[in-house]
Amino acid sequence: MRYLDAAAVRAVLTMPSAIAAMRTAFGPDREVPQRTLVGPSLFMPGRAGSYTGVKVVSVVPGNPVGVVAVFGPDGTPLGMVDGATLTAIRTGAGCGLMTDLLAPRDVHVMAMLGAGAMAADQVAAVRAVRPIREVLVWSRTAARAEALAAAVGGTVVADANEAVAAADVVTTATPAHAPLFDASAVRGRTHLNAVGAYTPEMAELPADLLRRAFVVVDDREAAAVEAGDLLQAARRPDASADDVLAGLRPGPDREVTVFKSVGIAPQDVAAAVAALDAATEQGVGVELAG
């Protein structure tokens, strides 16, 4: 059994391989039990293909720690992976896959709204599937926006509406409880990924935008109880990620597409399996006694 800390996960799990793993995570052969809060920890069990696993992460503010444990087809423990790092990569990878399936091919400008722990991987994921030439960064915290822009080679924009209006792909990853921009800022063919709002009280996207967009969720049942953007707008999704993988696409009259993700455990399982497989091949990580 192998353990991968944060540095080891970064060393072995490339964004393209994580994006590829999301095809299994979002496919029809999966299980997504409801996540459960026990004390200060959130337990997220799930299955992706023949592998099962559970992510246990702290919900204590300022303490983003946890692990993902993975089990093989016969229930044998295969390994554990740093939870916070894996979450950031797999969240970006899910958006990368949906961007690849839904966004126009010739997009070049991305707006990243939010500059927290998820943001850099979100940028990397979109860059992995589209020829992005310019990244516009907005955050309510100027210092964070500047740091992210420097890290990804982007440009800080002071107004969220300005960033959205100039972008072909927009990703939001904030703890907002109200829309970050006006619906009128989205012009022409645009794809949006929204990952920040994961409780009914949270929201990043304006209701008017959701009503005219083609909306995809990672999982219908999870979104029905957790996707604050959709719940507050009384908007049911048009499709789930597995529908899109099966070939469902918006009609020509739907220029705006939205991938609303609350994050599901099969993403953690599939990404952890990819990381552990790569680590075994490369001899990375720590071997634990069985």
Residue percentage of the chain with pLDDT more than 70: 100
Distance between CA atoms of 53 and 3, rounded to whole angstroms? Answer: 14
Query: Where does the pLDDT of residue 252 fall: very low under 50, low under 70, confident under 90, or very high at 90 and above?
Result: confident
Please state, as a whole number, how many other Cβ atoms lie within 10 Å of the Cβ of residue 41: 15
Query: How far is the first Cα of the chain from the last one, in angstroms, to the nearest whole number?
Result: 6
Q: Token pair of 98, please?
A: 């949906």
Query: Where does the pLDDT of residue 290 fall: very low under 50, low under 70, confident under 90, or very high at 90 and above?
Result: low
pLDDT of residue 230: 98
Closest CA to 70 of 49, 94, 85, 39: 49
pTM of the model: 0.96
Residue percentage of the chain with pLDDT more than 90: 93
**Mind listing the domains of the chain with CATH numbers?**
2-87+265-287 (3.30.1780.10), 104-260 (3.40.50.720)
Query: Where does the pLDDT of residue 260 fall: very low under 50, low under 70, confident under 90, or very high at 90 and above?
Result: very high
Strand 51-58 with 134-138, pairing: unpaired
Q: Lowest mean pLDDT: which of 145-149, 206-210, 221-225, 282-286?
A: 282-286
On whether the CB atoms of residues 269 and 80 are closer than 8 A, the answer is: no
Distance between CA atoms of 216 and 101, rounded to whole angstroms? Answer: 11
pLDDT of residue 240: 97
Alpha-carbon distances of 260 from 12, 68, 287, rounded to whole Å: 27, 23, 37
Q: Is 282 exposed, middle or buried (0-12, 13-18, 19+ CB in 10 A)?
A: exposed
Distance between CA atoms of 133 and 148, rounded to whole angstroms? Answer: 16
Q: Is the pLDDT of residue 82 over 80?
A: yes
